Chain A
Amino acid sequence: MTSVNQEYNEQTTDTRIEWLRTEVLANYTAYLLITPAIVFLLSVVAYPILETFRLSLYQSPTNSPVETFVGLDHYVAIFQSDIFYQLLWQTGRWVVASVTLKTVLGLLIAVHLNQQIAGRKFFRTAFLIPWGIPYAISAVVFRWIQHPQYGYLNAILLETGLISSPIGILGNTSTAWFGAVLADVWIGTPFMAIIFLAGLQSIPDDLYEAAAIDGAEWWHQFRYITVPQLKSVILIATLLSTIWTFVSFDVIWTMTRGGPMNSSATLVIWIYRVAFDQGSLGEAAAFSVIGFAFLLVFAILYLRLYTRGGESL
């Protein structure tokens, strides 16, 4: 800004007017170029957000245009219901289990990929593939693997003698959620691995060389060099993964639709269920607003991490 002002003061009146004109014109183009994106995001993201807030105050059947104002009734009903607290617990369990496994496995893969080995490009591509497959397809494949009669998981467990009769993970209220976690971990680990690998590659080699000369074992190198150096990457990646896992829809919906008996439902699964199975847009909107509140907390954390250190954009 200061350099712009200096430039401005150094000029004579005539050129100053001319300069102002071009400056305005230049900025005019700048604004013109971002306008389509702004208009688009306002109408496809901002407006539906407002619409969700408005709808949450109405009784609004999905299949009819009738709307009745009910104020905060939906919220009161939600906070007084047992299902809400059950959903919170199930969502928390789903996010913590899935993100922890993805982080640990991703780190394990990244550390081993970050070595001087032949075929690194092959391994990198191969590990990435599950992330690129449609979630619904991965979910179908995991349903197949976990099929109580014909599934490979049961075949392996039976062959190795770990179980004596077939088990149905997805059909059981206490295990169905974990069956979905397995699929989600399979899908989400590649992203973690690639992000961690990028982070690992930015750690200077001489740190490791010095440690090796001092006789540090790989575990000590991992603990005292890798983890501290990778801290901010791990933080950002787990936060992003937390957000994505929190809102993950396709996997659970394809595998269990939240069942059996709502045991694998999360908050977002419930939003969908209420809106399109039970046909109550207003109540689903109120659940969505509660979802927003959680996302807002994550978003603030993410922004603070992202813009930390006062770095200019």
Chain B
Amino acid sequence: MTMAGHDRTGLRKVRIYGVLLALLGIMMFPFYTMVASTFKPEQEIFSTPATLVPDEFTAEAYLTVWTQTDVLLWVGNSFLISISTVVLTLLLAIPAAYSCARNEFVGKRTFLLSVLVVQMFAPVVLIVGLFDVMVSLRLYNTYLAVIIPAAAFTLPFNIWMLYGYFKTIPLELEESARIGGASQFQILWKIILPLAKPALVASITYTFLYAWNRLLFVLTFLTDDAKFNIPRGVFSMVGALQADWRMMLTVSVIGIVPILILFAFLEEYIVAGMTSGAVKE
């Protein structure tokens, strides 16, 4: 790079931006089609070939889904399911991760590796066994039937990520507290967790997204449409013989707004979490 002249550097920049913008255009195109379609009047959405820019803008579709579908309820359920999953996962992951980061004990390695294997056992392959369990525990068609599996499949990632982060917190900080008579639980709550905030934010974001996005558990374990989350709600609109594309896309747009907000604020934590959970450097 140092040897390259101004012209070559300039050309390189053009090439890099060119490629990035082209790829970004391709990646953004599906969003564009989704959003653009929701602002078209009903007859224009069914024109052949499709118009790239709506001839006429209208927000009518948003009013219609507001009054004619359960979109608000679905968004609410998504929040309920996601937040509960986050709480349950953290309650289980924090103590386990802390214990492994701070103690040497027989079986620790086995525990951590088994947890890693759980991450490989995908929900779909377990769905038949889980279905049987949910029915016999009478959890079928309750929110718990969705929250419990979601927590189980996000737990491995959370344990590993928090374990890695807890290890980087200096031991001296705890020792002075221990001399002051604090219990291990108090140390965890008052010293470790505040210091581990970046890792916790990454954990929470990952788990929240996982629970928000998943269709499988809701599709299998919830029959009552008042309990549907956003993906399930959208899916229920696909099911009809003549799909109402305009309504379906509008509900989809509403369903991804919370995620876009999450991304705008927490991008760094999401990236940190994604990279530290899957790949060791």
A40 to B3, CA, bound (A): 59
Confirm or deny: B242 has a beta carbon within 8 angstroms of a beta carbon on chain A: no
Confirm or deny: A123 has a beta carbon within 8 angstroms of a beta carbon on chain B: yes
By a CB distance below 8 angstroms, the chain A residues around B148 are: 44
By a CB distance below 8 angstroms, the chain A residues around B105 are: 27, 30-31
Confirm or deny: A298 has a beta carbon within 8 angstroms of a beta carbon on chain B: yes
Confirm or deny: A176 has a beta carbon within 8 angstroms of a beta carbon on chain B: no
* CB contact under 8 A between A133 and B256, given known A34-B111, A48-B132, A108-B19: yes
Confirm or deny: B209 has a beta carbon within 8 angstroms of a beta carbon on chain A: yes
Q: How many residues in B have their beta carbons less than 8 Å from beta carbons of A? A: 104
Which of B22-30, B64-72, B194-202 forms part of the interface with chain A? B22-30
Set B28, B118, B256: member contacting A137, Cβ < 8 A: B256
Can you spell out 16 A-B residue pairs with CB atoms less than 8 angstroms apart? Answer: A1-B104, A36-B91, A40-B92, A44-B148, A45-B118, A49-B121, A127-B27, A186-B27, A186-B30, A195-B279, A213-B2, A249-B123, A268-B124, A268-B125, A272-B127, A302-B120
By a CB distance below 8 angstroms, the chain B residues around A259 are: none
User: Quick one: which of B4-55 are within 8 Å of A by CB?
Assistant: 4, 13, 16-17, 19-20, 23-24, 27-31, 33-34, 37, 45-52
User: Quick one: which of A237-281 are within 8 Å of B by CB?
Assistant: 237, 240, 243-244, 246-247, 249-250, 253-254, 268, 271-272, 275-276, 281
A237 and B111 within 8 A (CB): no
A33 and B99 within 8 A (CB): yes
Q: How far is the CB of B261 from chain A (nearest CB, A)?
A: 11
* CB contact under 8 A between A51 and B133, given known A108-B23, A144-B245, A194-B274: yes
By a CB distance below 8 angstroms, the chain A residues around B109 are: 313
A272 to B221, CA, bound (A): 13
B278 and A33 within 8 A (CB): no
Considering the complex, give the chain B residue whose CB is closest to the CB of A117: B16
By a CB distance below 8 angstroms, the chain A residues around B27 are: 126-127, 129-130, 186, 189-190
B230 and A48 within 8 A (CB): no
